Amino acid sequence: MALVKTLLKDLKNPFKEISLIRNGVDPEVVEAFLDKENLPVKDILERLHIPSSTYFSRKKQQLRLDTYTTEKFVRLISVLIMAAEILGSDEAKSWIYRNVPSLGDQAPINLLDTEAGHRLVEQVLLQIKYGMYG
């Protein structure tokens, strides 16, 4: 759990976040976070378009995840944090799986595999926060 706290702290500082992404994150940290949030690893891998064979191979070899994969997990974590602040923790987990009309009737979690999708999801969350969601 200490590793998850360190991860969450690092994500509050853009320079530490950049370093984290460039250096990769340990799969054990990712899994600790997902476990804490009750999110199944295999489902998250599929939705973020991360090959499970590559992920589990790196985990078995005790290697950090590559930059590309780490960034996808960072997007998920940052959206969950933002959604929890705006919607509350339980609602945030439900919301990321719900089809959202302003996201083309797609679930937010299904858009987090790309930076463009991530920006759209954050935009919708900000609209909700400031009451501009319609």
> Is 14 a member of any domain?
yes
Q: Which of 5-9, 58-62, 86-90 has the lowest mean pLDDT?
A: 5-9
- State the Cα–Cα distance between residues 25 and 31, nearest whole angstrom: 11
Q: What pLDDT, on the 0 to 100 scale, is given for residue 132?
A: 77
pLDDT higher than threshold 90 for residue 3: no
Domain extent at residue 124 = 2-129
Q: Residues of the chain with pLDDT > 90: what percent?
A: 87
What is the H or E stretch that residue 84 is in?
A: helix 67-87
- State the Cα–Cα distance between residues 86 and 83, nearest whole angstrom: 5
> Is 134 a member of any domain?
no
- State the Cα–Cα distance between residues 39 and 58, nearest whole angstrom: 20
- State the Cα–Cα distance between residues 80 and 125, nearest whole angstrom: 10
Question: For tokens 């339980």, what's the residue?
Answer: 90
Interval 61-94: pLDDT, tens: 999 999 999 999 999 999 999 999 999 988 999 9
Split into its structural domains, the chain has a count of 1
pLDDT higher than threshold 60 for residue 122: yes
Whether the CB-CB separation of 57 and 65 falls below 8 Å is answered with: no
Whether the CB-CB separation of 36 and 1 falls below 8 Å is answered with: yes
> Is 106 a member of any domain?
yes
Region for residue 88 given its phi and psi (left: phi exceeds 0; alpha: psi -120 to 50; beta: otherwise): left
